[in-house]
Chain A
Amino acid sequence: SQKIEQNSEALNIQEGKTATLTCNYTNYSPAYLQWYRQDPGRGPVFLLLIRENEKEKRKERLKVTFDTTLKQSLFHITASQPADSATYLCALGGYQKVTFGTGTKLQVIP
């Protein structure tokens, strides 16, 4: 069966460092992969989308890589700030629906 794995343990990093979150998947050939941010008590907010034929995508301090051979995506936040503290979800899918991972909680310590 299809499986998406994100590190369920919280990730704590010092302010100013680069945070790297991992999304691994099995039994899946997604057309694209997305990353979302979710704050407590709120709905997820879209951050970045990367297609299967793209290796890397950047948006301001965010960078996503997508390795379809390793079946893995890495999500980087450079120069992290306490305001980046949230849960980050990866989502894989076709064009009509996606499947979400359980998310990784990031805590940026001042």
Chain B
Amino acid sequence: NAGVTQTPKFRVLKTGQSMTLLCAQDMNHEYMYWYRQDPGMGLRLIHYSVGEGTTAKGEVPDGYNVSRLKKQNFLLGLESAAPSQTSVYFCASSYSPGGSSYEQYFGPGTRLTVT
């Protein structure tokens, strides 16, 4: 199993450009999450999904959109990138149907710089 994978690993954008980050998991997890991690701020939840076709806002959703068209994929979009969105982005997934375990499995991260 590959676990949780993220594409790309690094990206540099100019202010105003758009991009999509892709997260994929092969563990049949119901829940998926997008976090950003900044120095001194810890992991902050951007958006999350509790099932295919459903999404919800997290703590810092402004400037981001998400889609979960397939159970195994969770996309994070930046429509018009801003320097404040320079960060490391982590995707995570959790919970298998019928299970009772809620630990999260994280991807390797995407380091995004907006100039």
State the A residues within 8 Å of B (CB).
8, 32, 34, 36, 41-46, 49, 89, 91, 93, 95-103
Q: Could you give 20 example pairs across A and B, Cβ below 8 Å?
A: A34-B104, A41-B109, A42-B109, A43-B4, A43-B106, A44-B43, A46-B103, A46-B104, A91-B104, A95-B102, A96-B31, A96-B48, A97-B33, A97-B45, A97-B48, A99-B59, A101-B42, A102-B40, A102-B42, A103-B42
Interface residues of B in 59-89 (CB under 8 A from A): 59
**Closest B residue to A31 using CB positions:** B102
Whole-angstrom distance between the Cβ of B51 and the nearest chain A Cβ: 10
Give how many A-B residue pairs fall within 8 Å (CB-CB): 54
Measured CA separation A101–B92 after assembly (Å)? 16
**Closest B residue to A100 using CB positions:** B43
Contact among B42, B48, B59, B95 with A89 in the assembled complex (CB-CB below 8 Å)? B42
Residues from chain B with Cβ under 8 Å of A34 in the complex: 102-104
Measured CA separation A44–B33 after assembly (Å)? 13
B108 and A43 within 8 A (CB): yes
Chain B, 18-49, contact with A by CB distance < 8 Å: what is the 0/1 string? 00000000000001010100001111110010
For chain B, the bracket of interface size reads 20 to 34
**Closest B residue to A44 using CB positions:** B106
Whole-angstrom distance between the Cβ of B44 and the nearest chain A Cβ: 8
Residues from chain A with Cβ under 8 Å of B50 in the complex: 96
Measured CA separation A40–B101 after assembly (Å)? 26
A98 and B104 within 8 A (CB): yes
B106 and A49 within 8 A (CB): no
**Closest B residue to A35 using CB positions:** B103
B58 and A97 within 8 A (CB): yes
Contact among A8, A43, A101 with B109 in the assembled complex (CB-CB below 8 Å)? A43
Measured CA separation A95–B107 after assembly (Å)? 20
Whole-angstrom distance between the Cβ of A25 and the nearest chain B Cβ: 13
Between A45, A46, A97, the greatest number of chain B beta carbons within 10 A of the residue's beta carbon is seen for A97
Measured CA separation A102–B40 after assembly (Å)? 7
- Other A-B pairs beyond A99-B45, A99-B59, A100-B43, 10, CB < 8 Å: A34-B103, A42-B108, A46-B104, A95-B95, A96-B48, A96-B50, A97-B58, A100-B42, A100-B44, A102-B40
